[in-house]
């Protein structure tokens, strides 16, 4: 089962992602930003599918689009004030940011053009069918400790978020 029209889908999804990303940082209204981000994330999960990472793609949809972004939307709605729309959207040092980002971008371009040979043209053959099993055995085998720490991190985050957001403790 060979992937069909890979370049077409790659460029389509890449375009969606980049336009979405630009909208995220340009939109005046935070809700619009969040929706653009969701589109970006969904396109990215499709790209994961193209990279033979179906499990991560599924996790991306469930966790990011269905979980984290809903949280974002919730908070945006809770703190939604019209005043924020009328204010200046970019901070006063925006040009510093642009310069820094441009420099970083230049660095990336330099690395990718100079170091093209570092990235070999090879594409390892991956069995897609048992992707989930193999990810699982890595997660619960080699990365057991990291997994536990991640769960601890989540616990701490839950408690932290509750403590922060509660009116009276």
Least spacing, CB of residue 75 vs other proteins, in Å: 5
Minimum CB–partner distance for residue 160 and other proteins (Å) = 5
Cα radius of gyration rounded to whole Å, the chain? 20
- For residue 115, the minimal CB distance to other proteins (Å) is 10
Measured in degrees and rounded to the nearest 5, phi and psi for residue 114 equal -70, -40
Q: Are 58 and 93 in contact (CB under 8 A)?
A: no
CA end-to-end span of the chain:
57
Q: Are 69 and 37 in contact (CB under 8 A)?
A: yes
Helix axes 131-140, 144-165, angle to 10 degrees: 80
Residue 130 CB, shortest distance to other proteins, in Å, is 7
- CA dist 60 and 74 (Å) reads 19
């Amino acid at each position: 089962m060979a992937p069909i029209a890979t370049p077409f889908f790659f460029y389509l999804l890449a375009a969606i992602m980049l336009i979405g990303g630009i909208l995220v940082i340009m939109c005046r209204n935070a809700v619009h930003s969040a929706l653009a981000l969701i589109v970006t994330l969904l396109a990215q999960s499709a790209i994961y599918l193209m990279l033979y990472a179906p499990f991560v793609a599924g996790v991306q949809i469930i966790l990011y689009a269905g979980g984290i972004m809903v949280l974002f939307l919730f908070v945006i709605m809770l703190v939604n004030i019209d005043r924020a729309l009328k204010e200046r959207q970019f901070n006063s040092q925006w040009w510093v940011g642009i310069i820094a980002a441009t420099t970083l971008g230049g660095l990336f371009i330099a690395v990718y053009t100079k170091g093209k040979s570092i990235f070999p043209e090879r594409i390892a053959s991956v069995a897609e069918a048992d992707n989930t099993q193999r990810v699982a055995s890595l997660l619960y085998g080699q990365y057991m400790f990291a997994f536990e720490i991640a769960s601890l991190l989540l616990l701490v985050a839950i408690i932290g978020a509750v403590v922060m957001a509660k009116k009276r403790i």
